[in-house]
Chain A
Amino acid sequence: MTDRQELRKKADATFAAFADRLGPQGAAVPQLVAALDFSLSKPKQIVIAGQAGAPDTRAMLRLVHDRFIPNKILLLADGGPAQQQLAEHLPFLKGVSRKDRRATAYICENYVCQLPTADLGVAAQLLDGTWKPRASQ
């Protein structure tokens, strides 16, 4: 969530410690194998800037939950203390806020973010990886 390398190292050490078991006995520890799957994927950070519980925030969240995105990290940026605290580890969160007072999605892969959008259609295409900027605009 916070891209802290010391935690990544601890996770890798855990996988290494159980390496002998992960291969031959993976079915006995499926969640550890699932965690390995997550650790080897490029994380997709989805930050929704919005007010908790507001209809436009919920609509944006619904878009995310309608899809199976196993490598997602989903964060709500509500402008409150929790966002400030997370921003200490993840500086880009400092500048994350609603656009035109509408719930806004910041969709990032490997900690590189697309342009924020408050448009549900565009957000859906960004999530599906089908979005293409129109040349004429």
Chain B
Amino acid sequence: MHEAWLAQRDEIVQSAEKATQFLQAQVSTGPATAASTLGQPVFDRTYQQIKSSYDAKLGGFGSAPKFPRPVTLNFLVRYYARTGDKAALQMTLHTLRAMARGGMHDHLGGGFHRYSTDASWHVPHFEKMLCCGCGR
């Protein structure tokens, strides 16, 4: 890295500027929409997006590797509380139970590994995060 910095400094700075511009273009959202116009349609669309990636047989979302996101489940139980849509609750419970039965769950030491390398929760990626996987 030191060599690259000495030999190609201009190119690196240029490339960093391009990346910054790209990020700025991504983040700028144009005229802000009033927060008051946000509401049920946002919840419904988010729910449909999550639902369309749900693995009804094995639990979880998307295909392997299955990377559980607590925030997705947090949204789903809130959606259930708001709308009474039982499928939102079922998706959450089925996913959590599948995770608890599978290899991602550390049955000896407690807690959960970071993700499942396969779609059926057999083989975990052996890494635990302090934030959400440490268990007892």
A positions within 8 Å CB-CB of B: 12-13, 15-27, 30-31, 33-34, 36-41, 68, 70
Nearest 3 CB-CB pairings of A with B: A26-B46, A19-B33, A27-B49
Interface centre among B33, B36, B79 (most CB of A within 10 A): B33
Given contacts A23-B41, A23-B42, A37-B43, contact A30 B33 (CB under 8 A): no
A38 to B69 alpha-carbon distance, docked (Å): 19
Contact B49 A37 (CB under 8 A): no
A30 to B48 alpha-carbon distance, docked (Å): 12
How many residue pairs, one in A and one in B, have C-beta atoms under 8 Å apart? Answer: 80
Interface of chain B: mostly helix, strand, loop or mixed? helix
Size category of the binding interface on chain B: 20 to 34
Can you add 16 more A-B contacts, CB < 8 Å, to A26-B45, A36-B43, A37-B75?
Answer: A15-B38, A17-B29, A17-B32, A19-B34, A19-B35, A21-B29, A22-B38, A22-B46, A24-B45, A30-B46, A30-B50, A33-B46, A34-B71, A37-B43, A68-B77, A70-B78
* Interface membership of B74, Cβ < 8 A: yes
